[in-house]
Structure 1
Amino acid sequence: METVEVVLAMLVAVIASAYLARLLPVALPLPLIQIALGAVISGVFRHGVALDPDIFFLLFLPPLLFVDGWRIPKIGLFRDKATILELALGLVMFTVAGAGWLLHWMIPAMPLAVAFALAAIVAPTDPVAVSSITARVPMPPRLQHIIEGESLLNDASGLVCFRFAVAAAMTGQFSPTRASLTFLWIALAGVAAGVAITVAITRTHGILQRRFGETDGVPVLINLLTPFGAYLVAERLNASGILAAVAAGVTMSYLELSGAATPGTRIRRNVIWDTLQFTLNGTMFVLLGEQLPDIVRGALHPAGGAPFDLAWLAGRALALSVGLVLLRFAWVWISLQLTLLNRKRLGRQLFKPRLRVMLATSVSGVRGALTMAGVMTLPLSLPNGDPFPARQLAIFLAATVIVFSLLLASAALPAVLRGLTMPDEPEATCSEDDARHAATQAAITALEQAQKADAGTADQHGQALAHVLRLYRHRLATADAAVGHSDAQALQRTERQYRLLALNAERDTVLRLARRMDVSDETARKLLRQIDLLEARYQQD
């Protein structure tokens, strides 16, 4: 019963954090407030919810990574794929090497393999934490797309490095060839599993829907279960469940362009996913806050070892946190110079970013609950029965890095980003106004064809169709007067039929533009939501 009370208190803390973020005189990032509330809950109940890493990964990460992959702008993701891969792969390896040697140099008692394991688990940025920061800080869209893309893809490289560093600490052996082959399998099989499971579930659901009809709520539930299916299948294949969830989300964003989902399903699905995303995001950080008191006690008084001095611990934690920022800045600068040299060699237009762009990219490397869950998987003991070296110290340092990165980003990003300019994003073939115009033209064409087909039918049909046509032509700056009618109810029913016909034509046009990537994902979703809401309104009349 007490565990249920703690869980309910966590959910209340998530709600309270949203209001506290608005009430506090100092602008603090929402994750920090949630971490603080989690620590309070742990103190009130004298214990929090035990963080089982396997359960945490299964319950929290698949849906959150799925929705992030689903909603990330694909045009920006593919346009800046080279930069994103440099950060997601190259930066992780660079950080593991640099931070690992730094840790071993600062703390000689920490074996090199353990230092590399800790460096590997703090190297990836957390997509949930990144989203929480960028939601409150106005960031140039192109930079935000790069940071979000990096955070979605760098988990696989970080977790592979972590896995092999732990194996080296346990056995004293390391094989670069085996590590490389394992990384390829984990990444490629994870992506393949996510794509295959999502396509299979969507196609199967489509067949069942056409044959047996649809039940309210079933499509939304299937959509909610898809990321868990992708994650579990990938884990069974010893691949990356994290990449599988991301790939499932990206795949779903393409599959939804088929227009198979009904307007009501899309509306309910968006509302449920927004609520679930807010709840799980907040619960993750509250859960992290609940672990902090025990983590600090365990680091100050490690089992079977001499207690550490708090000032010594704080100094090492601060040095590691600053070192991670400097390593990130160094990699960003090096990769930027290489990119400029390559563009110059190819004769392309050069844009030399200002120092503030590199600073913004460096301090945007926010760590989150993913790092904490990963470091908690460190073994308790070695094969010979001895305690795993520096385990509590590693957990404390990882928790400190999370808090420091959140504080740094919330304090530095507003100042660094103020007035920051980035290269203009290449415009989509169609702007939002162009897409609206094309959809309206398609609606008018569909209505005109219906007008020809219905010539000679009842007068109320002609009145209703003419009225709908005027509404759409008015949208194209053609003002017309309203038309009177005698049979109001019959006219309204007929008018509704033509309105739905026109809305279907609008939707088909927007989906076609999105499939051809002539219009951005954000614009397509915005227009589809407006069309769906109108259609839901007319269907309820």
Structure 2
Amino acid sequence: MDLVFTILILLLVVALSGVVLRLLPFKLPLPLVQIGLGALMGAPPFGMKVQFDHELFFLLFIPPLLFADGWRIPKREFFLLRAPILTLALGLVFFTVVGIGYFVHWMIPVVPLAVAFALASVLSPTDAVAVGSITGGSRLPPRLLHILEGEALMNDASGLVSLQFAVAAALTGTFSLGDAALKFVLIAVGGLGIGFAVTWLFSRVRRRLVRWSGDMDPASQVALLLLLPFAAYLLAEHLHVSGILAAVAAGMTMNYTDILKGHHAATRMQNNSVWNMLEFVFNGMIFLLLGLQLPGIVGDARLDLDQAGGGELWYLAGYVLAITLALVLLRFAWVWISIQCSGLLARLRNKPWQKVRVRIVWVTALSGVRGAITLAGVLSLPLVLENGSAFPARDLMIFLAAGVILCTLLAGSVGLPLLLKKLELPAEGQRVQEERLARELTAQSALKALDLRADELAQHEDPAYGALALRVSTRVIADYQQRVEAAGEEGELPEQARQDARIERDLRLTALRAERDELYRLRRERRIDDQVMRALMRELDLAEASLTATGGSVH
């Protein structure tokens, strides 16, 4: 009963965290607000405590978060920017693991090298969600935003796989670079293959079920989809390959199956709503849990200091700041060297090359914010070694990881807005141009189909029916013609059409809200029942969602 009560309280606080964020007189990233709320709940007089089963914690949070990241990442941008993404997600991760691992072992000699590598592994994944909450997402250059999203997806997998090797070395006391490299390739390829196979099989089974039953309830399809990341992860782990990469591959493969294609609009809408909610709740729960640990972590600082070899308490803060600074400088150095190498390669191939400003390199360096995956990874460290003794410096590793998460969030919150303030962005991004093109071409396709269908209806044997069809088709065709004009490039006609669309959207929203108020009145007076109200309210909500979704696209 206590567990259920605790989960309900955490869900309530996660839900209220967005409200608290809006009520603050100053701007803070949502993860920092959630960490603060968690720390408040863990401190006296509340004193809320949560005991972790690290294996259950890892299984519960990691697969769905990685699956959702893989599902939502823009596939075209990921392919076009694969070189810088893989450079950051693979090269920078191993550069960070080696550099930070040796740095921590040098700074705190009592920490075994394998344990230092484990800490460096959990610190290597970045959190694009946290960066978006700091910058607002749209303030970042689109190319850089896509690179950061792709990096955050792939370095989650590479960092956590590195963690598995580091923990295995700490548990067994042996490590072979050649064996580890070969094993990494095998478990990586196996994990990717399992993720692809599970998604493909899921798609085939769903098609068979639809064929046998004629249709499937959207809620049933969403429930099956929720099990997919766990199925991929558990199957891969059972076969001793990477469950982490299996969850990523399952998510990335999802858009290439037919689950979200065809005429299953209700399923698409429910999928998006459910996964948006799960991402928000799971990320929020992880940051809340970090906050809950902070009072205990600070209270046990003396014990953590003993694990570090003793000294003054301020040494712990110095360790955290030193590791954070090292992470930023290593990231800056890697990005700067990668850019110089890319420029040199382009010149050797006589290809055009646009020089990257140092400000962008610093933005990229400070965008390496650590978040949910780092916390989940460090809390997954085992409690004991194979001989039954305690895992070396485990509490110290949790302290350092939690401190680095806070420091990178604070550094990003202060530094990124300052760096982005003077950064010039294009007036109209590629995404807006592509959206206009898509709207224009889809509307033109609809006009062609409407013309053909209107001709068929006008030839009906009943003249009255033909005249009615002509009036209705004229009205519908005019609506699509207005969309084509509004989607055009700059000019007097497109601007007038967009102004017309804005006025029409405003009037339609006014009408929809009046309809909703009238439904509430009818329900209060018991002239309609709840079932009728829900059906009509859903229609109004869909219509309003459609209008508000296009509100920012018609300029």
TM-score (norm 2): 0.81
1:471 maps onto 2:472 in alignment: no
Q: Which moved more, 1:158-167 or 1:352-361?
A: 158-167
Mapped contact 1:35–1:285 kept (Cα < 8 A): yes
CA contact (8 A) 1:321 1:404 kept: yes
Equivalent pair of 1:376/1:395 in contact (CA under 8 Å): yes
Deviation at 1:402, TM superposition (A): 0.8
Cross-structure match for 2:34: 34
The more displaced of 372-381 and 284-293 is 372-381
CA distance in 2, matches of 1:304, 1:361: 36
| Alignment correspondent of 1:105 | 106
Contact map agreement 1:437 1:476 (CA 8 A) in 2: no
Contiguous gaps of at least 5 residues in structure 2: 486-541, 548-555
The C-alpha deviation readout for 1:285-304, integer Å capped at 9, x for no partner, is: 11121122223334422598
> In the alignment, which residue of structure 2 is the partner of 1:513?
none
- The 5 A counterparts of 1:51-90 are 51-90=52-91
Tell me how far apart the structure 2 counterparts of residues 49 and 261 of structure 1 sit (CA, whole Å). Answer: 45
Q: How far 1:68 sits from its partner (Å)?
A: 2.2
In the alignment, which residue of structure 2 is the partner of 1:403? 406
1:379 deviation in Å? 3.1
Residue 119 of structure 1: how far off its partner (Å): 1.2
Deviations 1:190-221 (A, max 9, x none): 22222211121122112211220222411222
8 A contact 2:119–2:378 mirrored in 1: yes
Partner of 2:211: 210
- Equivalence for 1:326: 329
Is the CA contact (8 Å cut-off) linking 1:363 and 1:408 kept in structure 2?
yes
User: Structure 2 vs 1, CA of residues 410 and 467 (structure 1 numbering), >3 Å: closer, same or farther?
Assistant: same
Structure 2 residue aligned with 1:372: 375
Give the conservation status (yes or no) of the 8 Å contact 1:232–1:241. Answer: yes
Does residue 229 of structure 2 align to residue 227 of structure 1? yes
C-alpha displacement at 1:406, in angstroms? 1.0
Structure 1 position 340, deviation (Å): 0.7
Take 1:533 and 1:264, find their aligned partners in 2: how far apart are those partners? 14
Show the counterpart of 1:250.
252
One-letter identity of the residue aligned with 2:175 = F
- TM-superposed CA distance for 1:128, in Å, is 4.2
Query: Partner of 1:18: helix, strand, or coil?
Result: helix
Q: 1:421–1:242: structure 2 CA closer, same or farther, 3 Å change rule?
A: farther
1:476 match: secondary structure: helix
Letter in 1 for 2:420: L
Structure 1 Cα separation of the partners of residues 223 and 120 of structure 2 = 38
CA 1:434–1:165: 2 relative to 1, 3 Å? closer
Per the alignment, do residues 218 and 465 of structure 1 end up closer, same or farther by CA in structure 2, a change over 3 Å counting?
farther
Is structure 2 residue 406 aligned with structure 1 residue 390? Answer: no
**8 A contact 2:66–2:251 mirrored in 1:** yes
Give yes or no for the alignment of 1:273 onto 2:278.
Answer: no
2:191, 2:236 within 8 Å by CA — same for their partners in 1? yes
Q: How does 1:134-145 map to 2 (within 5 A)?
A: 134-135=135-136, 138-145=139-146
Residue in structure 1 matching 2:341, options 333, 338, 341 = 338
Deviates more, 1:442-451 or 1:101-110: 442-451
Match of 1:92 in 2: 93
Q: Which residue of 1 aligns with 2:527?
A: none
Identical residues among aligned pairs (%): 48
Q: 1:60 to 1:323 in 2, by over 3 A?
A: same
Report the Cα distance in structure 2 between the residues aligned to 1:136 and 1:339, rounded to whole angstroms: 26
| 8 Å contact from structure 1 (residues 131, 148) kept in 2 | no
Paired residue for 2:450?
447
Matched positions, count? 485
1:394 Cα deviation after fit: 1.5
Rounded Cα–Cα distance in structure 2 between residues aligned with 1:28 and 1:428: 28
Please list the CA deviations of residues 260-289 of structure 1 after superposition, one character each: whole Å capped at 9, or x if unmatched: 352222222222222222222211211121
Distance 1:232 1:472, change over 3 A: farther
Which residue of structure 2 aligns with residue 502 of structure 1? none
Q: Is 1:362 equivalent to 2:387 in the alignment?
A: no
CA separation in 1, counterparts of 2:287 and 2:4? 18
Match of 1:312 in 2: 315
What is the alpha-carbon root mean square deviation over aligned residues? 2.8
1:262 aligns with 264
Greater shift after overlay, 335-344 or 165-174? Answer: 165-174
Partner of residue 4, structure 2? 4
> Which residue number in structure 2 is paired with residue 419 of structure 1?
422
Q: Secondary structure at the match of 1:379?
A: coil
Q: Structure 1, unaligned stretches of length 5 or more?
A: 480-528, 535-541
- 2:495 maps to which residue? none
CA distance in 2, matches of 1:249, 1:425: 30
Instruction: Report the equivalent of 2:460.
Output: 456
CA distance in 1 between partners of 2:471 and 2:224 (Å):
41
CA positional deviation for 1:424: 11
Letter in 1 for 2:88: L
- Counterpart of 1:11 in structure 2: which amino acid? L
Mean Cα displacement is larger for which, 87-96 or 277-286? 277-286
Distance 1:418 1:28 in 2: 17
**In the alignment, which residue of structure 2 is the partner of 1:150?**
151
C-alpha change, 1:160 and 1:63, in structure 2 (3 Å) is closer
CA distance, structure 2, for counterparts of residue 457 and residue 215 of structure 1: 40
465-474 or 280-289, which deviates more: 465-474
What is the distance in 2 between the residues matched to 1:88 and 1:332?
12
Query: Residues 423, 86 of structure 1: CA spacing in aligned structure 2 closer, same or farther, 3 A cutoff?
Result: farther
- Aligned partners of 1:235 and 1:274: how far apart in 2? 26
Give 1:129 shift. 3.2
Distance 1:37 1:310, change over 3 A: same
Give the superposition deviation at 1:321.
1.0
- The answer to whether the 8 Å contact 2:283/2:372 transfers is no
Between 1:111-120 and 1:88-97, the stretch displaced more is 111-120
Decide whether the 8 Å contact of 1:156 with 1:186 is kept in 2: no
Provide, for residues 516-535 of structure 1, a one-character-per-residue CA deviation record: whole Å limited to 9, x for no partner. xxxxxxxxxxxxx989969x
Shift of 1:85: 0.3
Distance in structure 1 (CA, Å) of the matches to 2:456 and 2:449 = 11
Q: Which position in structure 2 is the counterpart of 1:294?
A: 296
